[in-house]
Each structure stands twice: as structure tokens, then as C-alpha cells.
Amino acid sequence: MTETTEAVDHADDPADRDEPVADLPLRPALEAVLMVVDEPVTALTLAQVLQRTVAEVEDALVALAAAYVAEERGFELRAVAGGWRMYSAARYAPAVEAFVLDGQHARLTQAALETVAVVAYRQPVTRARVSAVRGVNVDAVMRTLVSRGLVEECGSEPDTGAYLYRTTGYFLERLGIGSLDELPALAPYLPDIESLEGDM
């Protein structure tokens, strides 16, 4: 191989044509990153990765989200659980479910739904206290919720040493909300946890 041929081959190496991250167009770069994340990513993290200011990234994210809605795309960009992530558009949920689940809906049982609701509104809370509210043993249901990533341990109760549980970022993500403050005002209808301690 001649020197001239070597120079041409080297020039065609894709690695030599890589643009610096900071020189990439911001919106397409954001789209590329958001297509591969498996959990919501913050504007700060995106700004650090793409070497831009947080304000630039936030403006671009808001603009992208609005553009997807205006264009009636099959996907949308949402601010969820403190970060941003791509989702299929709600309108096309039946099509996605038909493809992914193939008719088999892996839904939570009524017991699991009731249990995660108690955890969400009373967290951090022990299993015993959740059982007191529900009136049944919740050990098996709590294990299911933990295995599905909806609930997690978050320390222990000082007096008893019992594990405390709380909902996870994935729980917020599945509900499509940014924080627990967005939960409906259901707490006033739950029994007072302290009044049930004597019955445990």
C-alpha cells in the first residue's frame, strides 16, 4: 500500500470525522441521548454531557416536547421523576400494549395496588404499619412491590429496628408524575397510623 493510499484510507476513518460534543446541534444531540436512556435524566446531566448550559438544555427540552405534541408524533418527551425521558404517546398505548404484552396484561393485583397506595401516602412506613392500615398481612405483597421496583427499603425505625419502606422513582415514572406532591388528596381518607399502633 502506498503512502498516498494510506493517507486516503486514514482520512476515511469515521473516528477522525467525529465532531466535538459541544459543536453538535443541540436538539438532535438531546434526541440521540434520550433515545438510549432507561430512566429519566436531569437537565443538569444532559448539560454536562453535551457541554452546554443548563438553561440552553432546558429550553431545548421544552421546545422538543412542544414540537412532538404539535406534530402529533407517536412519542413524546416528558418531565418525570425529576428528569426527562421519551415515552410512547398516550394515544397509541393500545398499539404498544398489543405489541409488548401480546394480550397478557401484567397488572398489579388489587392487594398490591392498595398496599402501594398506603406506602405512597404514609412513607416512610414499616410493613407492620401497612398491615395495620390494610387489616391483613402484607409481607408477600411488599416483596412483590420491591421486586417490581415500585417500593424500596429506606432505613429502619429507631424504636423497633423494623425496615422502613418508600416508593421509588420508578413508581413516579409509572404514574407519569414528577413528585409525590402530585398525588391526589387521598391521605385524609386513610386511617390515622398512630391510632392503629395499639392494635398491631
Are 174 and 150 contacting, i.e. CB atoms less than 8 angstroms apart? Answer: yes
Q: What is the mean pLDDT of residues 33-61?
A: 94
Position 148 scores a pLDDT of 86
Of 93, 127, 145, at which residue does a domain stop?
A: 93
- Tell me: pLDDT of 12 over 50: no
User: Residue 185 belongs to what domain range?
Assistant: 110-199
Q: What is the pLDDT of residues 93-105, one digit of tens each?
A: 888 777 765 544 4
Locate 61 and state its grid cell.
427540552
Please tell me the total count of domains within the chain. Answer: 2
Res. 27 pLDDT band, cuts 50 70 90: very high
**Same domain assignment for residues 179 and 154:** yes
Domain membership flag for residue 147: yes
Q: What is the mean pLDDT of residues 65-92?
A: 93
**Same domain assignment for residues 194 and 119:** yes
Give, in order, the Cα–Cα distances in Å from 86 to each of 125, 135, 171, 172, 178: 32, 39, 16, 15, 14
d(CA 197, CA 195): 6
pTM higher than 0.85: no
Higher pLDDT, 174 or 75: 75
**Same domain assignment for residues 141 and 187:** yes
**Same domain assignment for residues 114 and 70:** no
Most confident among 50-54, 79-83, 144-148, 166-170 (mean pLDDT): 50-54
Domain holding 29: CATH number?
1.10.10.10
Domain membership flag for residue 20: yes
d(CA 52, CA 30): 11
CA angle centred on 27, ends 23 and 28, rounded to 5° = 80
**Same domain assignment for residues 124 and 178:** yes
Position 174 scores a pLDDT of 84
Domain membership flag for residue 100: no
Q: What is the pLDDT of residues 142-199, one digit of tens each?
A: 988 988 889 999 988 888 888 999 999 989 988 888 888 888 876 565 555 454 444 4
Of 30, 61, 93, at which residue does a domain stop?
A: 93
Domain membership flag for residue 41: yes
Domain membership flag for residue 99: no
Of 65, 93, 121, at which residue does a domain stop?
A: 93
**Same domain assignment for residues 85 and 116:** no
**Same domain assignment for residues 132 and 66:** no
Position 123 scores a pLDDT of 92
Position 15 scores a pLDDT of 44
